Amino acid sequence: MRGRGLRIVGLLIVLAGVGLASLAIGPVRLSPAEVVQSLAGGQGEGGLNAGAIVWELRFPRVALAVIVGLGLGAAGAAYQGLFRNPLADPFVVGASSGSALGATLVIAAGGGTGAIGFGAVPLGGFLGAVGAAVIVYVSAAWWGRAPLVGLLLAGSAVSSCFGALVWLLMVLHDEDLARIVAWLMGSLGGRGWAAVLGGGPYVAAGVVGLCMLSRPLDALSLGEQPAQALGLPLKLVSGAVVAAASLATAAAVAVAGVIGFVGLIAPHIARAYVGSRHRYLTPASGLTGAILLLLADDLARTVAAPVELPVGVLTALLGGPFFLVVMGARTR
Amino acid sequence: MSGRNERRDRLVIDDLACGYGRRDVLSKVSLAVEAGTVLALLGPNGSGKTTLLRTLARLLRPRAGRIELDDEPLWERGRRWAHRRVAIASQDDPGGSTLTVEEVVRLGRAAHRGWWRPMTEDDAALIGRALGRTDLNRLRTRPVAELSAGEWQRVLLARALAQEPAVLLLDEPTAHLDLNYQVEVLDLVVELARDEGLAVVLSLHDINQAAVWADRIALLAEGGLLAIGAPVDVLTPEHLGRAYGCPVVVERHPVFGTPMIIPRRRQRPENAGHDAGGQGEDAAR
């Protein structure tokens, strides 16, 4: 028991270390001392303005990676628990296609750029993700029997339909193609503090909500019927899980676009580390997601410098092989 | 040996109808279970054993009739009230659960502790006791996915015990178990009923198991309760022939004197000449 609490603290320390390292990495390499000095508020004696680089460019980006990774990792753990399915990720109930449709609609309508702050495009993405989750939940509830299977099926139907609409919009508005594709690939670049402050509270609220649902999620791992026999109000709990996970996912997607794989693999890594009780698994998955996304973003910023790769492409590209290695190591 | 007497009836079912969708699987079922006794449900596949258990566990709403637990209506008193008093162990396998034995047993306390409040010392003590009674201390930290069928059945029992129920429902607790585990589980169930004053209702496939371990037997068939009472009164060739639609011989258990059921081959049709077994004597009985 105590040991697993300590492991969460261990993850926090790793996250802090990776975060500090990420502040130092970039076109202008800073020493650890310079980073700490800048954070402490001193302008530093370095010729170039280290304080500005840290505070205006890198710190918001690092904070954003932490927020997005946290939300995706925790939501992934919750959905894997709710659906008893190791393949579930934050996007199973349609958050990615919903946000893509929302954002694409705004872009096609000539809405404000998402690059600066929590503008119209992120708002469209947020509303699209929440809207998709609502449609999925209402259809599953209307369908009635086997509520959890209903959620999965409705999620898949809505994803497919919304995905097709995004393609349609791309064909009809080929002048906006570049911006739409840029959104779909997901990136943490050039967002600034506005995105952190805009998305952070929603991610935090969602993750806290998921942590409060840890005992119901444990019970659900035994199956719907056994959980109900323990007194679990299934519809209420599945609604609450979908609501909290959708909030975290929608906010993450709104500020960063669709970033795949982090929400799928983070819970698997965390499970190997802290076990399956959601009390530990949910926060550990969030922290693991944050660490993974930070590392991926460091790579995206530096590997082809001065060109920045979209981190969403990188997570999907590296996530696949990484996942295979992790799973192979666990089963051996 | 009929249902009501001066002893305490824990669970009383009155004119119950239950089923799925628009279809009644069972109707006009009335019976009572005393504290400290075991009632076995028998009947062919589809006779409604599981349906009745799920209705008693408040997982399936009755279509008519009443269920009373210690003189209180089960459905009217609400979900929480019911799940603190009724525990069910169904045939479900551990499925994809990656929890450990102790973590599964802990969940039995959720009915009392709720879904958010932390567990207390009392909960820990009850969890420890449930693990001890079912001899699971050694397996505490084992993931349930790695257990044998017999061990998993004990985990289900331990979880039900941690729930501190007044009524314990078991859906085919001996299914898929080897003989030694069947005996072990049934012995444990009877012991728990006696020691904790539980009213136990369990469904069984094996009629002979019911005859040996159950205090009373309810025979379900033809959409209702065909017979209920002591094994010796219920397990007659007439009842069983009608319920299962096949001929049986009823003997006496050599040790316990309880009824013992031996299946018979159906009478051979006149023209089935190539049959290998000699059935002449059997048909003559």
pLDDT tens track for A47-101: 557 777 888 788 999 999 999 999 999 999 999 999 888 888 898 888 888 988 9
pLDDT digits (tens, 9 = 90+) for A121-154: 888 888 999 999 999 988 888 877 667 888 889 9
Q: How far is B75 from chain A (nearest CA, A)?
A: 13
| Cβ separation A229–B88 shorter than 8 A | yes
Q: How far is B224 from chain A (nearest CA, A)?
A: 25
Residues from chain A that touch B110, judged by Cβ atoms under 8 A, are: 215, 219, 230-232
pLDDT recorded at residue B138 = 94
Instruction: Return the minimum-mean-pLDDT range out of A119-128, A197-206, B203-212.
Output: A119-128
Asked if the C-beta of B221 comes within 8 angstroms of chain A's C-beta atoms, the answer is: no
Q: Which of B54, B83, B96 is facing A231, going by the closest CB pair?
A: B83
Half-sphere exposure of A61 (CA within 13 A, CB side): 25
Residues from chain A that touch B99, judged by Cβ atoms under 8 A, are: 218, 221-222, 276-277
Asked if the C-beta of B98 comes within 8 angstroms of chain A's C-beta atoms, the answer is: yes
Residues from chain A that touch B111, judged by Cβ atoms under 8 A, are: 230-231
Residue of B nearest to A223 (CA): B95
Q: Which of B79, B90, B116 is facing A231, going by the closest CB pair?
A: B79
Please state, in angstroms and as integers, the Cα–Cα distance from residue A266 to each residue in A100, A260, B30, following that order.
23, 11, 53
Residue A311 lies in a domain: no
- Distance CA(B156)–CA(B130), nearest Å, equals 10
Q: How far is A63 from chain B (nearest CA, A)?
A: 30
Is B9-230 in CATH node 3.40.50.300? yes
- Judge whether B228 and B218 are in contact, CB under 8 Å: yes
pTM (whole model) above 0.90? no
Asked if the C-beta of B140 comes within 8 angstroms of chain A's C-beta atoms, the answer is: no
What is the DSSP annotation of A139-159? Answer: HHHHH-SSHHHHHHHHHHHHH
Residue of A nearest to B53 (CA): A229
The token pair at A173 is 């508005």
pLDDT recorded at residue B30 = 95
Residue A42 lies in a domain: yes
Q: For residue A111, what is the DSSP state?
A: P
Quick check: B280 pLDDT over 80?
Answer: no
Residue A75 lies in a domain: yes
Query: Mutating which of B79, B98, B113, B147 best tests the A interface, going by the most A Cβ atoms within 10 A?
Result: B98
Residue A322 lies in a domain: no
Instruction: Return the minimum-mean-pLDDT range out of A5-9, A189-193, A284-288.
Output: A189-193
Domain ranges in chain B? 9-230
* Confidence bin at A330 (pLDDT 50/70/90): low
| Cβ separation B90–A225 shorter than 8 A | yes
- State the residue range of the domain holding A208: 2-305
Residue A84 lies in a domain: yes
Mean pLDDT (chain A) is: 86
| Count of domains observed in chain A | 1
In chain B, residues 147-206 whose CB comes closer than 8 Å to chain A: 163
| Cβ separation A277–B83 shorter than 8 A | no
Beta-sheet pairing, B9-20 with B23-34 = antiparallel
Residue of A nearest to B141 (CA): A275
What is the DSSP annotation of chain B? Answer: --S-SSSPEEEEEEEEEEEETTEEEEEEEEEEEETT-EEEEE-STTSSHHHHHHHHTTSS--SEEEEEETTEETTTT-HHHHHHHEEEE-S---TT---BHHHHHHHTTHHHH-SSSPP-HHHHHHHHHHHHHTT-GGGTTSBGGG--HHHHHHHHHHHHHHT--SEEEEESTTTT--HHHHHHHHHHHHHHHHHHT-EEEEE-S-HHHHHHH-SEEEEEETTEEEEEE-HHHH--HHHHHHHHSS-EEEEE-TTT--EEEEE-PPPPPTT-TT--S--HHHHH-
Residues from chain A that touch B57, judged by Cβ atoms under 8 A, are: 229
Interface contacts A/B by beta carbons within 8 Å: 74
Q: How far is A147 from chain B (nearest CA, A)?
A: 14
CATH of the domain at A274: 1.10.3470.10
pLDDT recorded at residue A245 = 94
pLDDT digits (tens, 9 = 90+) for A225-274: 889 999 899 889 989 999 999 999 999 998 898 898 999 999 999 998 99
